[in-house]
Structure 1
Amino acid sequence: MGRSYEQLSLDDRCEIARLSANGSSIRQIAAALDRSPSTISRELKRNRGRQVGYKPGYAEQRARARRWTGSRLDREPGLRRAVLDRLGQGWSPEQVAGRLARDYGRKVISYESIYRFIYAQLRRTSDYSWRRYLPRGKSKRGLRGKKSSSPASFIEGRVSLAERPIEAADRKVPGHWEADLMMFSKYGQAVLTVHERTSRLLLGIRLVSKVARGVARHLVRLFADLPNSLRQTVTFDNGTEFACHRALHGLSIETFFCDPHSPWQKGGIENAIGRMRRFIPRKTDLATLSNARFRRLVAAYNNIPRKCLDFRTPAEAFSRVLHFECESTTPPLQR
């Protein structure tokens, strides 16, 4: 049966001070208080004043000051401001903790401490605006609806994801993309999003309509400006807005589709859209969102550090890939 331990009380400290002043050894004091010698030794070392020696009242104050008095974010206003500022920009607690560690070369705070701080504010204040600091901003998980029939049979030339090149799956080779529509509450409003699997770069295009020909035309214009090696494959779900996917074949881009009812197979773009919801919620009226504001929000997403990138940002990761590609394809100087 394990031994139970209790904190020293003020009476215990008074007895320690009396016995120590009388010249008793640490083991004699420990025997008198029925404590271990290490407890008495630690108490005398940690709670002794340099000038006053060991005094019960002073020792009690020192011990209380060391006890946990709340979250570090409660105790350190500077750190709290730095964390909340980044959370307010759309960073997740894990991204905040990881980037601080990268910037300072040491662990500053854990993401679990940040989560606990936010949840503590929700409980303490009942102010649900604190949820805006959380990655999804939800208090409850939504229920999944029943599966309906899939429009996959209406897509000509559809190739299953199972036939996608193996190098696209491990994310080590750039040039493999995922695409999807970011939908909104107001009928007809949508944003075409594409996501590069290696760098996690996200590009967004506001759509006037979801007609398949128009969506394909936007995709062709977007990928036409990239080097050949950075436009190898694109993966879609089975929405009919991607029915004209074969227009990309003219750029030597292979197109693949998820299995019916399996959008998780293109998890990168699904996760990216979920993150973008913090900036552009589903209830947003795109007609009131200026193009400049829209571009700034996409840029904000691409400048948030990611754990999977060793807390680099997608913009930093893609710029490195693009730089190396341009360097490797630049023709040598003629002598």
Structure 2
Amino acid sequence: MVTSRIWFTAAQKAELWERWKSGSSAAAISRALDRRNKTGVLRIVTLHGGIAPAPHRRALAALRLEEREEISRGIAVGQSIRQIALGLGRAPSTVSRELRRNGGSQCYRANQADRRAWERALRAKPCRLALHRELRWRVAQKLALQWSPEQISGWLKREFPTDQDMQISHEAIYRSLFVQTRGVLKKELTAHLRTRRQMRLPKSHNAGSGQGHILDMVSIRERPAEAEDRAVPGHWEGDLLSGGNDTHIATLIERHSRFTMLVKLPRKDTTTVVAALAKHVRKLPEQLRRSLTWDQGKEMHAHKRFTIATKVQVYFCDPRSPWQRGSNENTNGLVRQYFPRGTNFARISQAHLNAIALRLNQRPRKTLGFETPADKLQAVLH
């Protein structure tokens, strides 16, 4: 293993991973472990893809050192394999296999056999993706379509409910992507992940942005209960997504189905934004036009004009409360997979935005029981 060249004790490695999971930087961890630089810490973290390896433990059914010593003593006094197994309460095949692995009865040594067993246990075992070719192909195919590991895992359970060989946890997919020593999935597939990260990073929290003031706005607290519990379709959440050179697009998310629409905006002024939103919303069936929830950005200053044009009431969130538009915030993160920060939206056509929205709407969502937003909305309309 590469880590054997990095001189950390088992206790130091355990502390390293605890500090990494708590959000400490490699430099801070190095200082805490009295290391001169962060290179050693980074090598260990990178090798394991930022995922702490599972602690090594002996299997409950494995032979213990004292049992191996009993085998050695039994051989010395001339006992048969069956007699030794009876004294241990083990199957004769277990004792026979133990002797065969370790040189036979003439060369068997308890301490040496125990050390070899521990070394064998430390070797990496083939993971599920390495053993099942079709499963590996399915996972790679969906990753290439920008599906998240969690979406892939949920879809496989729905698609192959009785075939355990075609099911895998999302954590196992992440491990196969991030842990270099596995080599099961191509490293290039990490580029299709929403974050494009090469390793697992500790979770962080983003601060909310400042809000503007809107005249005659209606508070989210007055929004109908049917919108709050997502029971009825037609209630939307909206926001602006910023790009490079002061360019923007609007994102609209239907709360019941998580159906997404992306709207190109030539400018950010309220007249332009309201007109563009109204144009898209008017295309919707009447049962999908009930309400729109927005933050207190100044681009919705002309919200009354939007309501007149669409008959859709606009409700406004409290300042610095992005969780009140949770579906929208989550979808904005998904959209960033296709349009990273700094993207110049002036170069993106409405047709391209429609294609990305279609892809998002055809991806299964965990919150929908791994149905797609498109299927969820289609079921409502019929």
Is the shorter-chain TM-score for this pair beyond 0.5, marking a shared fold? yes
Q: What are the within-5 Å matches in structure 2 for residues 111-260 of structure 1?
A: 111-121=170-180, 131-138=190-197, 139=201, 144=206, 148=210, 150-152=211-213, 155-187=214-246, 189-250=247-308, 251-260=310-319
Letter in 1 for 2:62: Q
Deviation track 1:218-237 (CA, whole Å, cap 9, x = no partner) reads 22222223232221111000
Flag the 1:264–1:129 CA change in 2: closer, same or farther, 3 A: farther
CA distance in 1, matches of 2:85, 2:205: 63
**Superposition TM-score, scaled by structure 2 size:** 0.66
Is the CA contact 1:136–1:275 (under 8 Å) kept in the aligned structure 2?
no
Give distance in 1, aligned partners of 2:217 and 2:273. 16
Aligned to 1:329: none
- CA distance change for structure 1 residues 229 and 292 in 2, over 3 Å: closer, same or farther? closer
Cα RMSD (Å): 4.1
Deviation per CA, 1:10-53, whole angstroms, max 9, x where unpaired?
x96xx69x9xxx97657x5241xxx3x2x426748xx99xxxxx
Cα-to-partner distance string for 1:235-261 (whole Å, 9 max, x where unaligned):
000111111111233333221111001
CA drift at 1:70: 3.6
Change (3 A) 1:134 1:300: same
Residue 171 of structure 1: how far off its partner (Å) = 1.3
Matched position secondary structure for 1:121: coil
| Post-superposition CA distance 1:245-287 (Å, at most 9, x none) | 1123333322111100112210101100101111121222334
Alignment of 1:5-154 (within 5 A): 7-8=62-63, 25=82, 29-31=85-87, 35=88, 37=89, 39-40=90-91, 43=94, 56=100, 69-106=125-162, 108-121=167-180, 131-138=190-197, 139=201, 144=206, 148=210, 150-152=211-213
Runs (5+) with no aligned partner, structure 2 = 1-57, 103-112, 114-119
Structure 2 counterpart of 1:168, one-letter code: A
Distance 1:117 1:235, change over 3 A: same
Conserved? CA contact 1:199–1:318, under 8 Å: yes
Q: Which residue is 2:26 aligned to?
A: none
Distance in 1 (CA, whole Å) between partners of 2:154 and 2:196 is 20
Q: Secondary structure at the match of 2:180?
A: helix
C-alpha deviation, 1:204, in angstroms:
0.7
Cα pair 1:178 1:196 within 8 Å, conserved: yes
The one-letter code of the counterpart of 1:306 is R
CA distance in 2 between partners of 1:191 and 1:86 (Å) = 27
Q: For residues 43 and 185 of structure 1, what CA distance do their matches in structure 2 show?
A: 67
> Residue 168 of structure 1 aligns to a residue in which SS?
helix
Q: CA deviation at 1:145?
A: 5.5
8 A contact 1:118–1:133 mirrored in 2: no
> For this pair of structures, how many residues does the alignment match?
301
- In structure 2, what residue type is equivalent to 1:119? F
TM-score if structure 1 supplies the norm length? 0.75
More displaced 10-residue stretch of structure 1: 132-141 or 306-315: 132-141
* Partner Cα separation in structure 1 for residue 208 and residue 171 of structure 2: 34
| Aligned counterparts of 2:182 and 2:344: Cα–Cα separation in 1 | 32
Are residues 123 and 164 of structure 1, via their aligned partners in 2, closer, same or farther at CA, if it must alter by over 3 Å?
farther
Preserved contact between residue 219 and residue 316 of structure 2 (Cα < 8 Å): yes
